[in-house]
A and B are shown apart, each in its own frame.
Chain A
């Protein structure tokens, strides 16, 4: 059988390198790279209607798994081990969709296009690596490989305070990464695992005493929480979003935040179950604070992009809550939410970008009644906002509904808290739409054009995905639930 995951990795790597070198042809190379990636991932996705798929291999519970020796230490084997399960497959699909949408949306990028498209591809390469890595060191390697291109994407292209934002992003996430790595390696060393493979660590680590697990889980939780981001470690996020170019924001919200969620599910909850159970009060507290904080602060934002950034904190808080429930329904909800938020926040950030260069500002009160002048743009904003607040038939609904159901099952009447916040979330989106889209035109210059075709195609692709999986969430659910994570029938 072909080593499919390494092949995808290699094609992505070759495409990324070629993009950097392609000069003025960079966007075409980037488009070809992302198209090939999407085709490969789509093929993988479609072949997994039933688990464990047609190519179950060495690592139990993971399809397409291959392992090559990488670094040999006298007491430990480090392998290049990769593989996918339902959770990672959904997130890989997200990566591929966002990559091609970002490339198309940024088609007319003029400031150093080779570097821009190269960094976009590199970010997606790193994210893909994180989702397939089944070895501690490999995981960390890809984890950091996302950090560096994102640092440059934030710091070089757009906003006036971009250098500050990039450095803040780097410092926050790098410190978190170090803590995470220390946590993971300490888990390995204390558990006596002789290999850094996920299966070896996940087999050995639950044997640790609950007290040790509690501390180790806290270290990992901190490492992942900064990426999530969880209040109070979130302050890098609004700054980074506001200063980043649109493509950077899309990948930041769509992919980087998912790395935190995925890492928590795969490397913390599964590896340290007892520690997770002990630390659940902290997890819940962090989740509730983030949900409430993100939503309420969104209400106060004037900058459209900043508002979407804070709404991300709210949504990722719900993801954390769903993970914290420690039930199969909660896990399903978390993955669905991550996918939905990835698509929808990308759509909203693209809309914000288009608003910015169409009207010259993102200040919500400064512009109003844009629908007659720019109907397509208004439609995109509305689709994104409605999907984000959970309108049925769009992808946000099945995800949030599952999350609330799981919360009711797990926590009973505490579900009223996220449910109540949902009202606030709906409020700030609807208020935004009321001010910006409807009413008498305000701050709309004469003779402006609607969405340019490339941006329209990029956003349209995401709208299509939103509708497709909103109507047919079963496509995702089947892949997730048939994967052999604890509690699912596939086990």
Chain B
């Protein structure tokens, strides 16, 4: 096979990898300016995003298409066991991962220019993104777990890369230990599945799910694998690490973790658990239709229960938080529960709804954490009460943040409403047992409004307490010695936040351009492609 033939479908991955290596080389060569490495990273991520969009058919740019149309959504021949394939749902997720990385990379331009290690930061960001791109292509369990590991290793370092901040170091350590445990569990689960089925290929696993001579072994394998992936996806009760890590990490890294890397867990759950769930659907259509310890029903019921518990616990704990980042972290946990509804139901509309929810979450949660970064740069403290008066001091920032919170709460005119509407109506459409998932989701959205409204009240209604550093440059330390542009926020952050806010409203008003491709991708995904 020619070079082009080998690399052709992998253009986005190659671009990102090449940029990562280039950034590391520049570090060795001594060219460590943040603007330089940042520009290279942003260009690479944007280029990769364009290629992915072209492959999906979004852009009328045939020249950019790296993927032959025959490869897209091709089901591998029986007997072959490819490590990776190109499904359109995977490409959609790639696009979302790249979008998250792009937002974070743009915003990170505004980090203090004298901060050391800019090439390391961007290099690790690109490597983490590479791992995420590979997750989206995986069609083999081991390949999937290794790709997750690539991302994880890069993000462990990213969390602690400032080195001098004790909280960040503690967060990195915690993240690493939990991540190692999660990987161990995942690989152990995978090995049990290999023992039960004799294969780690996801197509093969999907085809034979349920028809196995060792049901307990398979159940154990899926269960332990679920625990491992649940850590990545921050499902309750495997969520506790996430709050401390999101809280302690640098704000941009929190944005990347919550808005970006967490979603590889979601897609991994799609890949691994669609098989058992589809087996149930073929057999009976209800989690209660099978015999006890029957694989499919048990898996489906577990996923549904996890979804409800995750939503509820995340929301209730978010209500109790006094610090902004911890509140956002818990809200992020509850949002993972919504996404899990999609895979628990396993129909293509439900998966489409969950994918749209992932897209919404990329915009609103990355955006919200980036607003936290911008607010910190102008001297706003970590507690929610410290945000008093932001509405009058920085009206545009406050309005953007309000849009993100309203979208998280699922208020109409935002993408968060559309995604929840599509997801919950898919649950109702699936009838029977699943209607209760929609009801639980709806009650949770109603509950979540309270803590978002509380933040809005603080920002817009309560006057700023006493004199505050009014303009950039007054805050030495947090904002760096030189005043940043865009009113102390920094141009990079301003652009990233602005783009996220505009997309939240634009997709909320007219979702069809995004929703249509996601629906057809989800249909392909359920029908056969892995």
Query: Pick the contact of B512 from A71, A148, A163, A167 — CB < 8 Å?
Result: A71
Stretch of A83-91, A168-176, A206-214, A232-240 with 4 or more beta carbons under 8 angstroms from chain B:
A168-176
A141 to B416, CA, bound (A): 13
Stretch of B213-221, B366-374, B420-428 with 4 or more beta carbons under 8 angstroms from chain A:
B420-428
Q: A71-B515, A75-B429, A185-B425 are in contact. Are A163 and B449 (CB under 8 A)?
A: no
CB-based contact A167/B453 at 8 Å: yes
Question: Nearest chain-A residue to B446 (Cβ)?
Answer: A178
- A2 adjacent to chain B (CB < 8 Å): no
CB distance from B381 to the nearest CB of A (A): 21
A175 to B409, CA, bound (A): 13
CB-based contact B453/A144 at 8 Å: no
- A166 adjacent to chain B (CB < 8 Å): yes
Q: List residues of chain B with CB within 8 A of the CB of A141.
A: 412-413, 417
Count of interface residues, chain A, beta-carbon cutoff 8 Å: 29
CB-based contact B511/A71 at 8 Å: yes
CB-based contact A162/B515 at 8 Å: no
Q: A71-B418, A71-B511 are in contact. Are A156 and B461 (CB under 8 A)?
A: yes
CB-based contact A185/B428 at 8 Å: yes
Q: A71-B511, A145-B412 are in contact. Are A167 and B457 (CB under 8 A)?
A: yes
- B519 adjacent to chain A (CB < 8 Å): yes
Q: List residues of chain A with CB within 8 A of the CB of B426.
A: 73
- A366 adjacent to chain B (CB < 8 Å): no
Which A residues, 70 to 84, have Cβ-Cβ distances below 8 Å to chain B? 70-76
Q: A71-B511, A72-B515 are in contact. Are A148 and B411 (CB under 8 A)?
A: yes
A76 to B428, CA, bound (A): 12
CB-based contact B428/A189 at 8 Å: yes
Question: Nearest chain-B residue to A137 (Cβ)?
Answer: B421
- B155 adjacent to chain A (CB < 8 Å): no
What string of 1s and 0s marks CB contacts (under 8 Å) between B189-220 and chain A? 00000000000000000000000000000000
CB-based contact A144/B411 at 8 Å: yes
A70 to B516, CA, bound (A): 11
Q: List residues of chain A with CB within 8 A of the CB of B418.
A: 71
Query: Pick the contact of B425 from A69, A76, A178 — CB < 8 Å?
Result: A76
CB-based contact A189/B512 at 8 Å: no
Q: List residues of chain A with CB within 8 A of the CB of B81.
A: none
- B460 adjacent to chain A (CB < 8 Å): yes
Q: List residues of chain A with CB within 8 A of the CB of B422.
A: 71, 73
A162 to B516, CA, bound (A): 44
Question: Nearest chain-B residue to A141 (Cβ)?
Answer: B412
A170 to B516, CA, bound (A): 34
CB-based contact A189/B429 at 8 Å: yes
A182 to B413, CA, bound (A): 18
Q: List residues of chain B with CB within 8 A of the CB of A174.
A: 446, 449
CB-based contact A163/B412 at 8 Å: no
A144 to B413, CA, bound (A): 9
Which B residues, 388 to 418, have Cβ-Cβ distances below 8 Å to chain A? 406, 411-413, 417-418
- A155 adjacent to chain B (CB < 8 Å): yes
Q: List residues of chain A with CB within 8 A of the CB of B450.
A: 171
A216 to B428, CA, bound (A): 16
- A37 adjacent to chain B (CB < 8 Å): no
Listed residue (B412, B425, B460) with the most chain A CB atoms within 10 angstroms of its CB: B412
Q: A74-B349, A74-B519, A140-B412 are in contact. Are A162 and B461 (CB under 8 A)?
A: yes
CB distance from A473 to the nearest CB of B (A): 36
Q: A71-B512, A137-B421, A189-B429 are in contact. Are A163 and B519 (CB under 8 A)?
A: no
A140 to B511, CA, bound (A): 16
- A152 adjacent to chain B (CB < 8 Å): yes
Question: Nearest chain-A residue to B426 (Cβ)?
Answer: A73
CB distance from A184 to the nearest CB of B (A): 12
Query: Pick the contact of A166 from B413, B445, B461 — CB < 8 Å?
Result: B461
CB distance from A457 to the nearest CB of B (A): 30
Listed residue (B411, B418, B450) with the most chain A CB atoms within 10 angstroms of its CB: B411
Q: List residues of chain A with CB within 8 A of the CB of B428.
A: 185, 189
A301 to B413, CA, bound (A): 39
Q: List residues of chain B with CB within 8 A of the CB of A175.
A: 446
- B462 adjacent to chain A (CB < 8 Å): yes
Q: List residues of chain A with CB within 8 A of the CB of B429.
A: 75, 189
Q: List residues of chain A with CB within 8 A of the CB of B446.
A: 174-175, 178
Question: Nearest chain-A residue to B409 (Cβ)?
Answer: A174
Q: A72-B516, A189-B428 are in contact. Are A155 and B460 (CB under 8 A)?
A: yes
CB-based contact A166/B457 at 8 Å: yes
Listed residue (A70, A73, A163) with the most chain B CB atoms within 10 angstroms of its CB: A73
What string of 1s and 0s marks CB contacts (under 8 Å) between B323-366 and chain A? 00000000000000000000000001100000000000000000
- B510 adjacent to chain A (CB < 8 Å): yes
Which A residues, 144 to 200, have Cβ-Cβ distances below 8 Å to chain B? 144-145, 148, 152, 155-156, 162-163, 166-167, 170-171, 174-175, 178, 182, 185, 189
Q: List residues of chain A with CB within 8 A of the CB of B412.
A: 140-141, 144-145
Q: A72-B516, A137-B421 are in contact. Are A163 and B413 (CB under 8 A)?
A: no
A189 to B439, CA, bound (A): 14
CB-based contact A73/B425 at 8 Å: yes
Question: Nearest chain-A residue to B422 (Cβ)?
Answer: A73
CB-based contact B461/A155 at 8 Å: yes
Q: List residues of chain A with CB within 8 A of the CB of B516.
A: 72
A71 to B352, CA, bound (A): 13
CB-based contact B349/A73 at 8 Å: yes
- B442 adjacent to chain A (CB < 8 Å): yes
Q: A145-B412, A178-B445 are in contact. List 17 more A-B contacts (CB 8 A).
A: A71-B422, A71-B511, A71-B512, A72-B515, A72-B516, A73-B519, A74-B348, A74-B519, A76-B425, A140-B412, A152-B460, A163-B462, A166-B457, A166-B461, A167-B457, A171-B453, A185-B428
- A-B contacts, 6 of them at CB < 8 A, read A71-B511, A73-B425, A140-B412, A148-B406, A163-B461, A167-B453
